[in-house]
Structure 1
Amino acid sequence: MFRAFSRIPNSPSNPTTAFLNSPQFEDYVLAHFGRMLSYIYFKPIQDREARFLDMVVSRLRTSWIARWVMLLDARICEGLITGTMQPQLYSRWIRDLEGAVRTVLARDPTSPEAHILQGDCLELFVIKSIIVSGSDTIQVLRSATPTFLQIAYSCPELWPESSDPGFIPLLRIATSTRPELASFALIDCTCAMVFGVPQQVEYDTSTGSLPEDPASYEWSHSSPIEFQLLLAEINACRDKRPKVRDWREIERQLVTWIARPAQHDGTWESWMVVAWLAVQESWRLTLLAYLYLAVCGASSDEPRVQLCVSQVLQVLGTVKKHDSPDVNIPFFIQYHMAGICAIRESHRKIVHDKLSSNSETKFWRLRGTDFVPVLDHLWHGAGSDGRPIKWTDYIHSREVLFPIVYS
């Protein structure tokens, strides 16, 4: 059924508009998301999958722009699957849709429809950040930040009593019913780490009690929520932002951390449970290495750093490969950080091979292939012949390959 519905026009035209408004469009979207769920390593348990699909249908019915966003998402995913990506076409669609949304918002920015359209607009920015390459992602995030803040400040449920309005409560964002907010924050924190730039937003990273039911991005992107909070906090600590804990407290939390058992049903085999434990351990080791290198000013050859590199690659090597070569865990941050710190040629080769694989990285939020030249520059420059490097050496290599121009 998905293939039948995929035969739709390649540009926003009258036939496409008719299709968007037809009853068949919901079937098309559900078929699309059902197909995409098959590419996820950690399968959602049955009631969670049903709730996710119900949320998709509900969102489809909120606004006309949501249908365009869903169509665009489906076309991009189809392009990733078939290897027929058309970034210029998708960028043109996004530009046209952004213009249409701005026109509506200009007429009445306080209407209930405007609040919904702002969420759709942020989702467009999130999609745009995925299809652009290199440092263009930072420019997209900067453009999206005002919309993110408008939505966040208009949702009273995100703000506990006595909260500081200068800091966005990241835990509540991550567990809110607005997935576009969580998507933005996830990409923002990741980009701040790998590009070595400040986060676009000041986050409140205090934890409180973690939710029993994992957020959808946790199992779909293999990003446990507690490590997203710690990543944001380490970024802020690196940049000496206000209201951050001393690095020793963060280190103590990572060193003494205990894994959370996975919530699963009969569809999970034992190797999937083991893989989820490996995901958590790989995050712990990666963030420790990042903390030592970027915050403490450690050299990559220090034993505490090399122990993290050796152990994280060992942990990643224990994860069972899925029967389908297109189904894998997005370990971008883990391999990238290991590559920055690697001084052994064997470790560098593992990282290079993984990040260079188009088949393994095509569904990752940030394309691993984009960062291979950065690591090559580091390895053949400051880190040549296995010499140890500092965080500033990595930033230099990133700036050479991906300069960021702030307009």
Structure 2
Amino acid sequence: MARTVSKPGPPPQSCLTCRQRRKKCDRSKPKCKRCLKGGFECLGYGGPDPRPKVRPEGPNTLAGSLTRPNSELDPVEMAPTPDSKSITKDPQGPTNTDMDYDSRPSILGAALLYRLSKPASLTNEENSTTDPLEDFGRSWMQCQSQLSVYSRKSRVNGPKRVFNALCQSIPPLVDMKEDRFERIMHEHDSQRSNYWFMSPPSATRRPLLAQLKLSKGMTWAFYLEARLFQALDEYPYSSGSTVHGYIAYIDKIEQKFTLDSHNGMTLGEVVDRFAVQLELAFLKFAAVDSALGYDLLRKALPRFLQIVAADSDLHKELPNRNLVVSFPHTLSAPRYELRRFVLCDAITSFIFGVPPFVDYAYDVECDAMSHGLEWVHGIPVLILQIVSQINSWRASSRTSGWEALETRILAWEPSEDSATDAARVAVREGWRHIVLIYLYMGLCGVSSDDSRVQASVHRIVQLGETVTNLPIGVHMFTHCVVAGLAARLERHRMLVHRMLLSFKGARVWFFQGLQFSQVLYHLWHGVGVKGAPVKWDDYVESRCAIVPI
């Protein structure tokens, strides 16, 4: 049982758009100048806001509801709530009324009530003689007051809001209005943009946005991702219980958009489901567990191959009649999802020390400006291709030709766009030494006491110290892992360990700093105790012990 109480303090004076965006409003009337300057539609200031707040009367309420069968539960009650003891705000902290959410009903909220009032069966919807678009339009205006109360109730209940918005679904024929979609994308990007390697080029951004507008699954995934990351930011000291409350929703989207397949799907439907799988895999990598993210990435492989098979430019037949995927052509393919999978395959194979999912051909050198992913992670294209090539050669036990790879690595020069940015130069230059260590230790089999390896370790540590306190420093994750596994000096190990622990909460890379600090700790206190030399396979064994996949 819940009771409604008034929230103390004066009513918010910000415009509805600034409240939803959680920005400070200049309170200009009739329209907020901050919204107009930022290209957002100002929704005005609305009327008085009673701001009801829902509080559970006691811990027995949830326990009592769990004794009933699921069929008798309200959808809100079915969602797990994080432990109230572990998720509490500082009672002495400041209260900013400008940070309240927009009280106007969103299209997701309206869709929720629309779905709750309709039969759940897809068959019933298909046989209905009423136009769902017209029906939804009428119901939206009739339920604004109900939505106003619901939005606050669900906000307090954390992931319950997401459960209803996602699991009850958007009406099947309702397209997301452009301004609503842009707001979801803005909220999604605001969680990660501070940690991007650089601002995305418009040539990359525009086609991606146009494609995402047509995908209900990606809209849901982005909405869930933004809400989860927001919850983790608000409750950083209770991340375990917060994440636990969202895992079921990630799995539910996965089941709806990735597991529920049929043989008659069009290529567009396959691409859409593949894109959802990749986004959910990233979400599991970044916020849940690296092993779970890797497992979901593995499940996406059949759809990747199906999409590649439909384009003859992306695969080739070897003299032994085996079909392989062209790494350079796929990395420059028009479909963003294919490029993203190739990047994930290369990096996970590298960091986990496992064979790649795909057999690649490296028939030509990648176009340095082709893949459009460097703005996210800062990996130079040539370096990424060499990392993938070493992965493939390790899987086939090939070592001949490593000198040619070394020559290409040493001859590589960073692009001109980063020449004036010392932090970005440090990240990119660090990648040169990462792949040199991988070449010497991972492919040639030398130990960490090799002079070439130690020279690269020293250089990575120097570069890392220049970006330690900068947001861009999160892109030194791989630098820390590789330099850490080869480090022999205690001061180098301490710096690496400290940097890995500092990456908590950034959620840009596929991996979590805490997990891999434990991997290195296992290595340093095992084979590498007291600075003893180690080999790449020693690192892989420590990874298997701490992060089994």
Task: Pick the TM interval, shorter chain.
Answer: 0.7 to 0.9
Who is 2:301 aligned against? 145
1:233 paired to 2:389: yes
1:223 paired to 2:379: yes
User: What is the letter of the counterpart of residue 348 of structure 1?
Assistant: R
Shift of 1:306: 0.5
Alignment match of 1:291 (pick from 439, 446, 451): 439
Q: Which piece of structure 1 moves more, 197-206 or 133-142? A: 133-142
Q: Is the 8 A contact 2:523 2:539 kept in 1?
A: yes
Q: Is the 8 A contact 2:286 2:511 kept in 1?
A: yes
Distance change in 2, residues 1:399/1:208 (3 Å): closer
Aligned positions of 1:164-203 closer than 5 A: 166-203=323-360
Shift of 1:188: 1.9
Alignment partner of 1:39: what SS? helix
| Contiguous gaps of at least 5 residues in structure 1 | 265-269
Alignment partner of 1:200: what SS? coil
Shift of 1:228: 0.9
Alignment match of 1:304 (pick from 452, 473, 490): 452
Q: Which piece of structure 1 moves more, 108-117 or 167-176? A: 108-117
Alignment partner of 2:266: what SS? coil
Shift of 1:32: 1.8
Who is 1:393 aligned against? 538
1 CA distance for matches of 2:255 and 2:400? 42
Aligned positions of 1:112-131 closer than 5 A: 112-131=268-287
Q: Which piece of structure 1 moves more, 141-150 or 126-135? A: 126-135
**After superposition, what is the alpha-carbon deviation per residue over 1:11-56, rounded to whole angstroms, capped at 9, x for unaligned?**
13488737984555213223225524641354327xx2x4444334
**After superposition, what is the alpha-carbon deviation per residue over 1:177-226, rounded to whole angstroms, capped at 9, x for unaligned?**
322222222222222122211111112234435144x6442012111111
Q: Which piece of structure 1 moves more, 67-76 or 337-346? A: 67-76
Alignment partner of 2:461: what SS? helix
Distance change in 2, residues 1:399/1:260 (3 Å): same
Q: Is the 8 A contact 1:222 1:329 kept in 2?
A: no
1:28 paired to 2:221: no
2 CA distance for matches of 1:260 and 1:327? 17
* Higher normalized contact order (CA 8 Å, seq sep 6+, divided by chain length): 1
Who is 1:379 aligned against? 524
| Contiguous gaps of at least 5 residues in structure 2 | 1-19, 23-100, 107-150, 156-160
- RMSD across aligned positions (CA): 3.2
Alignment match of 1:248 (pick from 373, 383, 403): 403
Aligned positions of 1:40-119 closer than 5 A: 40=195, 42-44=197-199, 48=201, 50-82=202-234, 83=236, 86-101=242-257, 105-106=261-262, 108-110=264-266, 112-119=268-275
Give the TM-score normalised by structure 2: 0.63
Shift of 1:160: 7.6
Q: Which piece of structure 1 moves more, 200-209 or 307-316? A: 200-209
Who is 1:335 aligned against? 480
Alignment match of 1:279 (pick from 406, 424, 427): 427
Q: Which piece of structure 1 moves more, 56-65 or 119-128? A: 119-128
- Could you tell me the percent identity over the aligned residues? 28
1 CA distance for matches of 2:447 and 2:322? 37
User: What is the letter of the counterpart of residue 411 of structure 2?
Assistant: T
Distance change in 2, residues 1:259/1:103 (3 Å): closer
Count, aligned residues = 389
Q: Is the 8 A contact 1:63 1:117 kept in 2?
A: no
Alignment partner of 2:367: what SS? coil
Who is 1:267 aligned against? none
Q: Is the 8 A contact 1:355 1:361 kept in 2?
A: no
1 CA distance for matches of 2:542 and 2:260? 43
1:208 paired to 2:356: no
Shift of 1:301: 1.0
Shift of 1:384: 0.8
Distance change in 2, residues 1:118/1:197 (3 Å): closer
Shift of 1:112: 4.1
Q: Which piece of structure 1 moves more, 62-71 or 342-351? A: 62-71
Distance change in 2, residues 1:106/1:280 (3 Å): same
Alignment partner of 1:108: what SS? coil
Q: Which piece of structure 1 moves more, 310-319 or 114-123? A: 114-123
2 CA distance for matches of 1:317 and 1:396? 29
Shift of 1:74: 1.9
2 CA distance for matches of 1:342 and 1:263? 28
Distance change in 2, residues 1:185/1:131 (3 Å): farther
Alignment match of 1:349 (pick from 470, 479, 494): 494
Who is 1:315 aligned against? 463
User: What is the letter of the counterpart of residue 378 of structure 1?
Assistant: L
Q: Is the 8 A contact 1:354 1:360 kept in 2?
A: no
Who is 2:21 aligned against? 2
Alignment partner of 1:95: what SS? helix
Shift of 1:247: 1.5
Q: Is the 8 A contact 1:126 1:180 kept in 2?
A: no
Distance change in 2, residues 1:167/1:81 (3 Å): farther
Q: Is the 8 A contact 1:108 1:114 kept in 2?
A: no
1 CA distance for matches of 2:278 and 2:428? 29
Shift of 1:159: 4.7
**After superposition, what is the alpha-carbon deviation per residue over 1:224-258, rounded to whole angstroms, capped at 9, x for unaligned?**
1111111111112222267x862121112212323
Q: Who wins on radius of gyration, i.e. which is larger?
A: 2
**After superposition, what is the alpha-carbon deviation per residue over 1:56-94, rounded to whole angstroms, capped at 9, x for unaligned?**
431233232232122123223324443365433433223
2 CA distance for matches of 1:24 and 1:333? 37
